[in-house]
């Protein structure tokens, strides 16, 4: 078991109707609020109106229009400007992972006087950040319980993770009812994203029995509850369990003490959504079985066997390679069964820029240190197999 340090300062307030506590919670951080949100889904479900009604005694400044794969320009820059001009004391983020990620970047940049991009890239350290409270409306990324945010810079095709312990949300309101309206394709993309977060932790050199069990249970729960959410979007029990598993799946809690895996599929996916602005979970669903196939070897075989037997119930008496292959095929079949595109061409990506993306990933993502090290040729092979 490896050494580790762990602290998650975020308070989770979970369940139906918990939003009533919002004014009391927010008042602890101040009265001048930057309300961040996306393209309008929160208005369609009445959440925007509810928030304004609850916060009538607060001074609200709005930053609407944060896009999926949130953009440095304009959203981060505009939010930073508003915070500085209006003396904002707390950011209230209402939406999915993109809104929350963008809010984390704004929280750091608002307390920084240099070039904001230097903070995002980590060239300058984050020494201070505005507090963040969020109301999550889409179960997927786990951004509500971690200290990272993924930001895209369109002109350079960069999509990179800004992280600091100072941008953990202070409080995350998780009401599963706000996810009832998430469309089927986004629900499925959320399932694929969260399953992949767990796989990124499960496939490593050195793990504990407890973590393996935690990961296997998490994946099984996401498969069962994810399908139930797609079949019946207003199934509270399924939406609730899916939401909570997604929350736990990305803040390292499932792999404390494990050796590092390097999160290779995320490293490659960031290029796909950085270059083509595709939905993150769709990119991951396509890459996952191809990455698995690429790294299957005598060395990695025991992990695949454990995964196949414990997650899919494959007969453990079969030859080990057969179990591993069935596990990869079952992973593919599951993503296909929830309606995920399974080829890059289906999301508008052809062979044209594969060399360039493979080079970008090799230079920027450090995958030579992954569980199975990947160089530019490996990354290219995985991308080509995904076409
Ligand atoms: O913009 P609005 O109108 O709100 O619509 C959104 C958006 O179009 C919609 N939506 C959200 N809640 C809804 C809803 N529609 C109906 N009803 C609701 N209740 O869904 C669309 C997608 O939203 P988005 O926030 O982009 O999705 P998600 O939560 O999957 O976030 C994806 C982003 O998070 C990053 C991804 O790379 C991507 O940029 N990630 C963040 C991570 C983190 N912070 O730890 C880890 C992940 O691996 C991931 O990289
Ligand atoms: Zn992800």
For 128-166, write each residue's pLDDT tens digit.
999 999 999 999 999 999 999 999 999 998 999 999 999
- Give the pTM: 0.98
Alpha helices in the chain (DSSP H): 22-27, 41-44, 47-54, 77-86, 97-109, 116-121, 184-202, 209-231, 236-248, 264-276, 280-295, 301-312, 320-337, 354-364, 376-386
Q: In this structure, are 94 and 235 located in the same domain?
A: no
Residue 177, CA atoms < 13 Å, CB-side half-sphere? 9
In this structure, is residue 6 part of a structural domain? no
Q: In this structure, are 163 and 223 located in the same domain?
A: no
Any idea which ligand is nearest the CA of 159?
A: 1
In this structure, is residue 248 part of a structural domain? yes
- The CATH code of the domain that includes 174 is 3.40.50.1970
CA of 141 to the centre of ligand 1 (A): 7
Q: In this structure, are 349 and 200 located in the same domain?
A: yes
Q: The domain containing residue 63 runs over which residues?
A: 11-179
Q: How many domains does the chain have?
A: 2
Average pLDDT score over residue span 368-374: 97
In this structure, is residue 118 part of a structural domain? yes
pLDDT at 289: 98
Q: Is 279 in the pocket of ligand 1 (CB under 6 A)?
A: no
pLDDT digits (tens, 9 = 90+) for 318-338: 999 999 999 999 999 999 999
Q: Is 169 in the pocket of ligand 1 (CB under 6 A)?
A: no
Last residue of a domain, one of 140, 161, 179: 179
In this structure, is residue 17 part of a structural domain? yes
Q: In this structure, are 148 and 244 located in the same domain?
A: no
Q: In this structure, are 134 and 247 located in the same domain?
A: no
Closest residue CA from atom 31 of ligand 1 = 97
pLDDT digits (tens, 9 = 90+) for 224-239: 999 999 999 999 999 9
Q: Tell which atom from ligand 1 comes closest to the C-alpha of 152.
A: 39
pLDDT at 324: 98
In this structure, is residue 258 part of a structural domain? yes
In this structure, is residue 3 part of a structural domain? no
Mean pLDDT of the chain: 97
Last residue of a domain, one of 116, 146, 179: 179
Q: Tell which atom from ligand 1 comes closest to the C-alpha of 68.
A: 26
pLDDT digits (tens, 9 = 90+) for 102-135: 999 999 999 999 999 999 999 999 999 999 999 9
Any idea which ligand is nearest the CA of 96?
A: 1
pLDDT digits (tens, 9 = 90+) for 4-61: 999 999 999 999 999 999 999 999 999 999 999 999 999 999 999 999 999 999 999 9
Q: Is 186 in the pocket of ligand 1 (CB under 6 A)?
A: yes
Q: Is 38 in the pocket of ligand 1 (CB under 6 A)?
A: yes
pLDDT > 70: what percent of the chain? 100
Q: In this structure, are 327 and 358 located in the same domain?
A: yes
Q: In this structure, are 94 and 120 located in the same domain?
A: yes
In this structure, is residue 265 part of a structural domain? yes
φ/ψ region of 40 (left if φ > 0, alpha if ψ in -120 to 50, else beta) reads left
pLDDT at 140: 98
Token match 């970047």: residue?
Answer: 105
Q: In this structure, are 163 and 302 located in the same domain?
A: no
CA of 262 to the centre of ligand 1 (A): 23
Q: In this structure, are 267 and 166 located in the same domain?
A: no
Q: In this structure, are 17 and 149 located in the same domain?
A: yes
Q: In this structure, are 128 and 222 located in the same domain?
A: no
Q: Is 152 in the pocket of ligand 1 (CB under 6 A)?
A: no
pLDDT at 259: 97
In this structure, is residue 5 part of a structural domain? no
Last residue of a domain, one of 179, 207, 235: 179
Q: In this structure, are 237 and 320 located in the same domain?
A: yes
Q: Is 143 in the pocket of ligand 1 (CB under 6 A)?
A: yes
């Amino acid at each position: 078991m490896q050494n580790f340090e762990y602290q998650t300062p975020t308070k989770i307030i979970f369940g139906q109707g918990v939003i009533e506590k919002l004014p009391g919670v927010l008042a602890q951080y101040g009265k001048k609020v930057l309300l961040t949100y996306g393209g309008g889904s929160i208005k369609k479900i009445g959440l925007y109106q509810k928030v304004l009604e609850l916060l009538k005694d607060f001074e609200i400044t709005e930053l609407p229009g944060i896009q999926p794969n949130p953009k440095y320009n304009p959203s981060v820059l505009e939010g930073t400007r508003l915070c500085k001009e209006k003396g904002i004391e707390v950011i209230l983020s209402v939406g999915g992972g993109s809104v929350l990620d963008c809010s984390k970047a704004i929280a750091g940049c608002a307390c920084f006087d240099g070039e904001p991009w230097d903070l995002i890239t980590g060239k300058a350290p984050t020494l201070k950040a505005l507090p963040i409270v969020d109301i999550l409306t889409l179960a997927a990324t786990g951004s509500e319980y971690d200290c990272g945010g993924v930001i895209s810079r369109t002109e350079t095709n960069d999509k990179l993770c800004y992280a600091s312990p100072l941008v953990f949300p202070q409080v995350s309101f998780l009401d599963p009812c706000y996810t009832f309206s998430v469309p089927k394709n986004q629900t499925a993309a959320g399932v694929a994203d969260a399953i992949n977060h767990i796989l990124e932790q499960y496939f490593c050199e050195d793990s504990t029995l407890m973590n393996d069990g935690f990961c296997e249970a998490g994946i099984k729960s996401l498969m069962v509850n994810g399908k139930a959410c797609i079949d019946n979007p207003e199934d509270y029990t399924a939406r609730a369990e899916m939401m909570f598993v997604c929350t736990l799946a990305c803040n390292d809690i499932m792999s404390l003490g494990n050796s590092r895996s390097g999160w290779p599929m995320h490293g490659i996916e960031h290029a796909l959504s950085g270059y083509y602005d595709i939905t993150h979970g769709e990119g991951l669903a396509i890459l996952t079985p191809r990455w698995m196939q690429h790294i299957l070897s005598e060395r990695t075989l025991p992990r695949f066997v454990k995964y196949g037997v414990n997650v899919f119930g494959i007969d453990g008496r079969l030859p080990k390679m057969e179990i591993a292959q069935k596990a990869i095929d079952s992973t593919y079949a599951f993503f296909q069964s929830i309606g995920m595109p399974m080829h890059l061409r289906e999301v508008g990506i052809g062979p044209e820029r594969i060399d360039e993306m493979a080079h970008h990933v090799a230079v920027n993502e450090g995958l030579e240190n992954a569980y199975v090290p990947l160089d530019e040729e490996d990354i290219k092979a995985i991308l080509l197999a995904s076409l």
